[in-house]
Amino acid sequence: MPISLSALAFPNIDPVAINLGPVPIHWYGIGYVVSILLGWWVSKRLVSQPSLWRNDTPPLKGEDLDDFLMWAALGIVLGGRLGYILFYDLPIYLADPSQIVAVWRGGMSFHGGLLGVVLAIIVFTRKRNIPLFGLIDTMAAVAPIGIGIVRIANFINQELWGKPTDVPWAVIFPAAGPEPRHPSQLYEAALEGLVLFLVLWVLIHVFRKLKSPGFIGGAFITGYGISRIIVEFYRVPDAQLGYQVGTDWITRGMILSLPMVLIGVIAMIWASRVSRRA
């Protein structure tokens, strides 16, 4: 494919935001920290508005979210890293286990992070006697904020780039060669981050779906799964995996996202029926 004259040069942002002596602080890590803190702040605002919740009673308090902050961080980081190792690149890490802790180089799986947070929620709610779906819906409502921020960090890291293209907004990533490519990281930031956050905001504030426990959680994983599948058509699959099941278009990300869509739809239907019977 010839290089488009309108292709955009990569802005060449240094992945290292600042060096604290011998310790480099990467934008990728900052993205996770900012995501967790911003999600915590927005979630506290949600539980401070009783009118949004069933029977005008939030299922948890702001203090519960303060205590869950560390649980969420551990679930995201440990689950995301373990998920990437198991789902995407196990042979490499078995050959060199020292690479397991090198999270500043990327290598996090959303699906693994999701499972890690869900496990943290299950344990935390049982310990605190908090309604399970109350915390699930709260976390789901703010999750797109973090996803959008981290996808921008992926763009800065020059990873997860898209397929070659001649669209006017194509970007030339130096790490990917001279061909202009879809900035698929920014597509994901837009769809899985901004658009999904706005959809959930409308469901919460206009349609009052927090009053149907489990609905927002289902809407989140459905929306994420659909968004991820769409972007996978424009994104280059991980080199060590390639395309799956003997095709030239099915990716590991699609395979992991399809069950999310199905589970999310079932969760929304179930939540709506239970809410009508209550």
Q: What pLDDT, in 10s, does the model give residues 196-239? A: 999 999 999 999 999 999 999 999 999 999 999 999 999 999 88
Say if CB 53 and CB 135 are below 8 A apart: no
- Binning pLDDT at 50, 70 and 90, where does residue 92 land? confident
Span 26-69, pLDDT tens digits:
999 999 999 999 999 999 999 999 999 999 999 999 999 999 99
Segment 122-126 shows an average pLDDT of: 98
pLDDT at 41: 98
Rounded-to-integer distance, Cα 219 and Cα 209, Å: 10
pLDDT at 2: 47
Rounded-to-integer distance, Cα 190 and Cα 89, Å: 27
Higher pLDDT, 180 or 97: 180
**Mean model confidence pLDDT for the chain:** 94
Cite the beta strand spans of the chain per DSSP E. 8-9, 16-20, 23-26, 171-172, 180-181
For the ranges 97-101, 127-131, 190-194, 257-261, the lowest mean pLDDT is seen at 97-101
User: Which amino acid is residue 190, in one-letter code?
Assistant: A
Segment 141-150 shows an average pLDDT of: 97
Residue set of the binding site: 151
